[in-house]
Amino acid sequence: MKVDPLKLVTMIISGGQTGADRAGLDFAIKHDIPHGGWVPKGRKTEYGTLDLKYQLQEMPTAEYAKRTEKNILDSDGTLIISHGLLTGGSALTRELAKKHKKFWIHIDMADLSLETAADRLISWIERNDIKVLNVAGPRGSKDPTIYQATIDLLEKTLISSFSKAQ
């Protein structure tokens, strides 16, 4: 019998940015999974201030890179989801995870079916005993479809995969 992924992943964190980050938080809220993470000073996102319903802590600095690093350090592993090669903050996330020798996985939804991506993600979660999952990827303005792709991947990985196995 498969391990219930929600017994493994006990918290989802992110930096609160639009796109992949926000999808991770909204998924957690929808499924009553504890959530958190760090957000730049002023709860800064590309479209203004992050809503207080997201239980993130403010960094003492407005620098996105510092927030990214703190979320990597506070997690057991980082999921970086994209449609294509990693650029900008997503590429920085990968480099910081490598620098700190933290588990990370890049799921490129341009190259993988949802089923294959979910299988890879759940195997990675199980293999690395990921309890606190940091969700990262491009902001909404850089990839308008990343929010839904992230929701779909998390649903397929953490909800559907266990339901089918029972």
> What domain range is 65 assigned to?
5-165
Encode pLDDT of 8-65 as tens digits. 899 999 999 999 999 999 999 999 999 999 999 999 999 999 999 999 999 999 999 9
The candidate with the shortest Cα–Cα distance to 151, out of 7, 14, 30, 36, is: 30
Instruction: State the burial class of residue 138 (Cβ atoms within 10 Å of its Cβ: 0-12, 13-18, 19+).
Output: buried
The CATH number of the domain where 52 resides is what?
Answer: 3.40.50.450
Encode pLDDT of 130-161 as tens digits. 999 999 999 999 999 999 999 999 999 998 75
Domain count, the chain: 1
pTM of the model: 0.93
